[in-house]
Amino acid sequence: MRELFHTRPRAGRARGAAAPSVRLLIERGARRLKRAGVCFGHGTDNARDEAASLVLHALGLPHAARPAQLARRVRAADARRAAALITRRIRERIPAPYLTGVAGFAGLRFHVDPRVLIPRSPLAELIERRFAPWIDPERVRRVLDVGTGSGCIAIATARALPRARVDAVDVSPAALAVARRNVRRHRLGRRVRLIESDHFRALRGNTYDIIVSNPPYVGARELRELPPEYRHEPRVALAAGRSGLDSVRVILREAARHLRPRGLLVVEVGNSEHALRRAFPRLPCVWLEFERGGGGVFLLTREQLQAH
């Protein structure tokens, strides 16, 4: 009788151990990612969030899973699929959004694949604030996004400013194909126009209330030293000559011609902020601060650009 009592619960525990919960799979995945020393920075900044995005994707669960979904038991085959995705992340150093095909930006979801940079710009915060207090959002009618990639900035801006039309240019036809998919996904075909263009070249005669850009800005040395994850992103989205300023110089030279009176130029230059300050010491840039972190974003009016 006694033996039977001991045997049954043990058998029960063994069966339970074979069916881990979603939460346990995430914890295991996070431990593996941490041990492997992968680089975060493509949508998450820690092992748990990264593991959660991969495990939930593998199990077909929503990215904001509820506690009851996290407590659910997972069949062995599904658990193996989730573990295999974590293994790919570790072995091939592929950023998680390329494995899931989805990235978040400004509270919206975008399709991503290796044809485009993974959205992560701090500009999201400015867009969510509708570019206030720098411009009256109600008077914005036309916006230009230079180097649109996945279309995230153009699309989020169109959502934030429902009275504005947005032109989105990119030199890469492959990136524009992804942006087109996202414009369709967000049903913004009437207000977001995608244009293949080397900076402003195809935009002669067009003027805007806001020109926003997250152009390539990685200098040659920094590019060589980037963690392996970044090598999966298109080089054209990152590389910007020796000092990282090749694209920004074109934007500074040409933007005033495409801005309306009191129009705004907002550009992210990331770590190239120091190179820019050195190269243009008298440029009266306002450097923005962000509550959610990130920096290297400056703002200038058309009048300031003209005066310079």
Ligand X SMILES: C[S@@+](CC[C@H](N)C(=O)[O-])C[C@H]1O[C@@H](n2cnc3c(N)ncnc32)[C@H](O)[C@@H]1O
Stretch that binds ligand X, among 11-19, 129-137, 210-218, 274-282 (CB under 6 A): 210-218
| Binding of ligand X by 150 (CB under 6 A) | yes
In a 13 Å sphere around the CA of 19, the CA atoms on its Cβ side amount to 9
Q: What are phi and psi of 173, to 5 degrees?
A: -60, -30
- DSSP letters, 241-263, are TTTS-HHHHHHHHHGGGGEEEEE
Build a one-symbol-per-residue string for 263-282: x at contacts with ligand X by CB under 6 A, - elsewhere: --------------------
Closest to ligand X by CB, 117 or 164: 117
Going by the DSSP 8-state scheme, the letter that residue 280 receives in this structure is: -
- DSSP letters, 42-83, are SS-SSHHHHHHHHHHHHTT--TT--HHHHTSB--HHHHHHHH
Contacts with 262 (C-beta within 8 Å, 6 or more apart), sequence order = 135, 301, 302, 303
Contacts with 70 (C-beta within 8 Å, 6 or more apart), sequence order = 21, 22, 23, 26
| Binding of ligand X by 237 (CB under 6 A) | yes
> In the bound complex, what is the minimum distance in angstroms from residue 153's beta carbon to ligand X?
5
Closest to ligand X by CB, 204 or 282: 204
Helix (H, G, I), strand (E, B) or coil at 218: strand
| Binding of ligand X by 117 (CB under 6 A) | yes
| Binding of ligand X by 182 (CB under 6 A) | no
> In the bound complex, what is the minimum distance in angstroms from residue 35's beta carbon to ligand X?
30
Closest to ligand X by CB, 37 or 173: 173
> In the bound complex, what is the minimum distance in angstroms from residue 46's beta carbon to ligand X?
21
| Binding of ligand X by 158 (CB under 6 A) | no
Residues lying near ligand X in the complex (CB under 6 A) = 116-117, 119, 121, 146-150, 152-153, 169-172, 175, 198-199, 214-216, 236-237, 247
